[in-house]
Amino acid sequence: MTKYRNYKTSVYQERVENTYKKMLENQTIKYVKKMKHKYSKSKEYNIWDLIEKLDSILDESDPDSDLPQIYHAYQTGESIKKKYLNQDTKIKSLFDQKEWDLLSDKYKNQYNTNLKEFYHQIKDWEWLQLIGFIHDLGKVMILDEFGSLPQWSVVGDTFPVGQKLSSNYIFYNKNYHKNNSSLLLNTYSNNCGFDQVEFSWGHDEYLASSLERSNINLPKEAIYLVRYHSFYSWHNCTKNSCSKRGYVELANDYDWYMLPLLKAFQKSDLYSKTHLMPKIDKIKEEYNKLFDIYIPIKTLYL
């Protein structure tokens, strides 16, 4: 697993760092609000048309792969199906030892169980596989049809704006963020919850907002995973030689409650990258059954 998220010696290092530099310098509070307004005007799209567009999209923030995003979509969904749909995974196994040791006794005690017991109110889990399949659909903003946004405005690790950048963020020590006054502030109340915070604009917020205004049967947990799946400073906190979890001061009880599920999702999102890809017809047959349950009209308002 250590071969992933290599931001020091990746063969794509120059491309990746340049993307993050622009992101840290240009994702301001003003810019985020502008993008939210721009993309609040919805148009209806067939979900399979959107998925097939991923075949033409590369993520320039990814240090691990240069494959089209449709590969990643399928592999994440399949990884979740194999690993987590039985929900017997011990929550402690989702944390590396260093990260677990950093938890307070309160959360060590709460997390001392498995996913099924911890999220006992969730009776149906097949939606999790579907979210794995579609979680990166928001990256279509890179395409001309959806605004032709630059990579730094679509991909990469998300972060709060209007709050000091966490020291565990990628390329923090390069000080790119010091050229952005929105990352030198502390404007939010302690423990206000992530849903009360403005985050950098990107594919996470775009798709989460789209799902909220579309005709879906997905639970609120699904929207949360889409919205925060790239928030690595929070859910993957001990990487890159950092020994702290970022943005603890903003998290509320619900964010701590959702952390184990975010971590389970992250492991399938990150560690499923391969060059294997079945034919699209096989994918459609499998996932149409899930769409019939959770997004029955198979359209999204983007």
Tally of structural domains, the chain? 1
135 within domain boundaries? yes
Give DSSP secondary structure letters for 199-247: B--SHHHHHHHHHHTS-----HHHHHHHHHTT-HHHHSTT-TT--S-TT
* pLDDT value for 87: 77
Query: Residues 27, 35: contact at Cβ < 8 Å?
Result: no
- In angstroms, the CA 229 to CA 267 distance is 10
63 within domain boundaries? yes
100 within domain boundaries? no
* pLDDT value for 2: 44
Helices marked H in the chain: 13-26, 29-38, 47-53, 69-83, 97-102, 105-110, 115-118, 126-134, 203-212, 220-228, 232-235, 253-270, 280-294
196 within domain boundaries? yes
108 within domain boundaries? no
* pLDDT value for 1: 40
* pLDDT value for 60: 87
The pTM of the full predicted model, rounded to 2 decimals, is 0.92
- What domain range includes position 76? 27-84+129-301
253 within domain boundaries? yes
79 within domain boundaries? yes
* pLDDT value for 277: 60
Residue 149: give its domain's CATH number.
1.10.3210
* pLDDT value for 278: 58
254 within domain boundaries? yes
- Coil/strand/helix, residue 150: coil
Segments of the chain scoring below 70 in pLDDT? 1-11, 63-67, 238-243, 270-280
